Structure 1
Amino acid sequence: MNNKLLIGVVAAVVVIAAGVVLWLTLGGDDEALERGSCEDGVTYELSAEEDDGALEVAFELQSAGPAEAWTVEFTQGGTSLLEADRQTDEDGELDVDVLADPDGSDEFTVTATPENGTACTAALAR
């Protein structure tokens, strides 16, 4: 390989790497994520992601079984975004998404309480 070609290849790699670093620093994935577990083997995932000026907060809960009744409450910095009753699907999963105020607090809390059980609380700070 001649020197001019080698220099061109190295320069291209440096430019691509710099572009990737810049994209990740300035405009990459702006998602915050928290995973955890609660009593009775319940696991959850809480995430917040900004997309096109909107802020979506998503909560996924994996429970023991299908058709379980849960009350789910989302808050953003102490302000209620949603309080609703939901049921787990055939796989024992519960998925709830809400739109939050992109200019509001960066602290989110979801409390999911089964009909006959202990509340499961997830918290996230972006």
Structure 2
Amino acid sequence: MSPLKNLAALVATTVCLAPLALALDASPAHARGDDDVIRRGDCTGSATWKLKVKTDDGRLEVEGEIDSNRTGQRWAWTLRHNGSVSARGTGTTAGPSGSFDVERRVVDLAGTDHLRFRATHNGQVCVGVVNY
């Protein structure tokens, strides 16, 4: 086979296999063996948030954390699952880190679960979202 035909065959093979490689890489993060999905971000003030979701005995374990580096702050929080309120309450920052966390287990619904953790304190707002 001529070098030009070899090159054409290589290009054709690459073009045909590229969509397959992309489809294999597009799998959800939790399907790769380590099923934890963790997102982090900044709040509207100086605090930060973290939202972690993983499977646990057929349910989803959801952990929301607020870290303000100040102890004694009382935060109101809400956990929504596919738009509906799953849990709400208050948390008070404690310990040397000035943080609090919330852990809840929710039903693992068919398809993608949309989880949203929101916390507020004195006008400061923290919102974390994970699609699992």
User: What's the TM-score, normalizing by structure 1?
Assistant: 0.72
In structure 2, what is the equivalent of residue 66 of structure 1? Answer: 71
Deviation of 1:68 after TM superposition, in Å, equals 0.1
Give the structure 1 partner of residue 61 of structure 2: 56
- Gap regions ≥5 residues in structure 1: 1-24
Are 2:93 and 1:124 equivalent residues in the alignment? Answer: no
Consecutive aligned runs of 4 or more in structure 1 exceeding 3 Å deviation:
none
Aligned to 1:39: 44
Alpha-carbon deviation of 1:57? 0.5
Output the amino acid matched with 1:103: L
- Partner Cα separation in structure 1 for residue 70 and residue 113 of structure 2: 32
Cα offsets for 1:53-77 (capped at 9, x unmatched): 1210001111030010100100001
- The answer to whether residue 93 in structure 2 is matched with residue 106 in structure 1 is no
Query: What is the CA distance between 1:27 and its match in structure 2?
Result: 6.9
- In structure 2, what is the Cα distance between the partners aligned to 1:67 and 1:26? 39
Equivalent position amino acid for 1:76 in 2: H
1:77 aligned partner: 82
Deviations 1:14-67 (A, max 9, x none): xxxxxxxxxxx9671212111111122211110110022121000111103001
- Structure 1 vs Structure 2 CA RMSD: 2.1
Deviations 1:71-111 (A, max 9, x none): 01000011111110110112310110111111265101111
Q: Among the aligned pairs, what percent are the same residue? A: 28
Unaligned runs of 5+ in 2: 1-29
Which residue in 2 is equivalent to 1:28?
33
| One-letter code aligned to 2:124 | T
Query: How many residues in Structure 1 have an aligned counterpart in Structure 2?
Result: 102
Partner SS, residue 52 of structure 2: strand
Aligned residues of 2:59 and 2:105 also touching (Cα < 8 A): yes
Task: Provide the rounded CA distance (Å) in 2 between the counterparts of 1:49 and 1:26.
Answer: 11
